């Protein structure tokens, strides 16, 4: 599963066990904001290319009829060993060249890969769970600058060299740069209410496990 700034736009996992199905999509469904907080009931899915793409994926994953219990997990940036978002970040941060992207004020919704798998398993195995679940950690109201500092601390390296917005836009183009320069504060209200117990609710512990 690959991870990118605004979730996992390249990943859609679907598992069907007889009368239940679970799909993993992206927190890019929610509109980027420096002030808004989004839970599973918040509107979205209709303001840019990525949100419209998530909406179409959710519609494609939905099975007809009422006999199948369906769950959609909107995932944040997935933190795991051996690739994904962390794989791209480790080298510059280990060299002491890491830091916030753009202003650093944008939110950075994240989840440890073990918890993403755990939420999917919990949804499939728990009969009362259905609908939308936000696949983010309870402490994922982290800003990009806070994430950079936490990753630097986990590696024992400074993390204060910013990557200017203009450079990001020049390298990635305007559309792709949005994934890095904008973010959403996403909370897992229904995920917690469904009874899922996180293995890595805090960023520091998640990063230490990933880079160990």
Is 140 or 163 the better-scoring residue by pLDDT?
A: 163
CA 37-124-24 angle, to 5 degrees, is 45
User: Average model confidence (pLDDT) for the chain?
Assistant: 86
Name which of 43, 50, 74 is nearest 61 in CA terms: 74
pLDDT at 179: 82
Other C-beta atoms closer than 10 Å to the C-beta of 87 total 14
Domains annotated for the chain, with CATH where assigned, are 13-211 (3.40.50.720)
| Predicted pLDDT at 139 | 87
Overall average pLDDT of the 111-116 stretch: 97
8 A C-beta contact, residue 173 and residue 24? no
Calculate Rg over the CA atoms of the chain: 17
What's the confidence (pLDDT) of residue 20? 56
> With bands split at pLDDT 50, 70 and 90, how would you rate the model's confidence at 173?
confident
Contacts of residue 166, defined as CB under 8 A and 6 or more positions apart, other chains included, come to none
Residue 180 is predicted with a pLDDT of: 86
pLDDT for res 57: 81
């Amino acid at each position: 599963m690959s991870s990118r700034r605004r979730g996992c736009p390249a990943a859609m996992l679907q598992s069907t066990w007889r009368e239940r199905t679970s799909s993993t999509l992206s927190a890019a469904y929610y509109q980027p904001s420096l002030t808004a907080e989004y839970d599973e009931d918040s509107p979205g899915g209709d303001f840019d290319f990525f949100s419209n793409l998530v909406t179409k994926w959710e519609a494609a994953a939905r099975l007809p009829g009422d006999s199948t219990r369906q769950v959609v997990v909107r995932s944040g940036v997935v933190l795991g060993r051996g690739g994904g978002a962390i794989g791209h970040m480790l080298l510059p941060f280990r060299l002491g060249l890491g830091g916030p992207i753009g202003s650093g004020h944008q939110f950075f919704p994240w989840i440890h890969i073990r918890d993403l798998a755990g939420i999917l398993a919990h949804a499939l195995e728990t009969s009362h769970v259905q609908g939308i679940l936000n696949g983010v950690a309870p402490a994922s109201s982290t800003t990009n600058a806070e994430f950079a500092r936490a990753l630097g601390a986990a590696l024992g390296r400074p993390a204060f060299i910013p990557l200017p917005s203009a450079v990001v836009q020049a390298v990635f183009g305007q559309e792709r740069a949005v994934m890095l320069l904008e973010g959403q504060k996403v909370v897992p209200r229904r995920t917690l209410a469904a009874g899922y117990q996180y293995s890595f609710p805090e960023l520091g512990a998640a990063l230490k496990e990933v880079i160990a």
